[in-house]
Amino acid sequence: MGKTGGFRTLEAWIEARLFRLQVEEVAKTFPSFEQFGLTKQIVNSARSVHANIAEGYGRFHYKETTKHCRIARGSLEETLDHLITACDNQYVTQEKINEMELKYDRCHRLLNGYISYIERMDKNKVKKTDKPSDS
């Protein structure tokens, strides 16, 4: 690990990772016939959220970073849709969905905040390699 911790220090990435872990636990309870259907889709979309945040962090230009964060936001929405489908099919309770939506909402807010931050840095022409000041 580098000195700064890189993308692993981003709150949006940390929360997306925790959400993915929660989604994977729920997906383990789906019927076996869904292994290559809904289970695979929901796990892949949940993994895509933090993976795209990480990939965007590693990009050189702000616009590339923002693009990947928007993809991550789309994957977050896709994951919620898969959770709703799982509830519709009675693989998971509405109470569990309500619980998971709290984590989803936090991820969504943090991701939107991170996108806004990136857009401000781009607008202010701050070099991507520059560190924000502590003032």
Mean pLDDT of residues grouped by 10 in the chain (135 residues)? 76 98 98 97 98 95 96 98 98 97 98 96 77 40
Write down the pLDDT at residue 60.
Answer: 87
- Set out the domains of the chain in order of their start, with CATH numbers: 6-123 (1.20.1440.60)
The per-residue pLDDT for 78 is: 98
**Residue 26: per-residue pLDDT:** 98
DSSP letter assigned to residue 19: H
In this prediction, residue 31 carries a pLDDT of: 97
How far is Cα of residue 128 from the mean position of the Cα atoms in its chain? Answer: 22
- Taking the C-alpha atoms of residue 6 and residue 57, their distance in angstroms, rounded to an integer, is 8
Can you give the pLDDT at residue 61?
Answer: 92
| Beta strand extents in the chain (DSSP E only) | none
Q: Where are the alpha helices (DSSP H) in the chain?
A: 11-27, 38-57, 62-88, 94-123
Return the pLDDT at 45: 98
pLDDT for the residue 127? 76
Q: What integer pLDDT is reported at residue 107 of this predicted model?
A: 98
Report how far residue 49's alpha carbon sits from residue 83's, in angstroms, rounded to the nearest whole number.
Answer: 15
Rounded to two decimals, the pTM is: 0.89
Residue 99 is predicted with a pLDDT of 96
CB 45, CB 75: distance < 8 Å? yes
Distance CA 86, CA 67 (A): 29
Give pLDDT, residue 129. 61
CB of 16 within 8 A of CB of 105?
no
């991820």: which residue's tokens?
Answer: 107
Contact 75, 111 (CB under 8 A): no
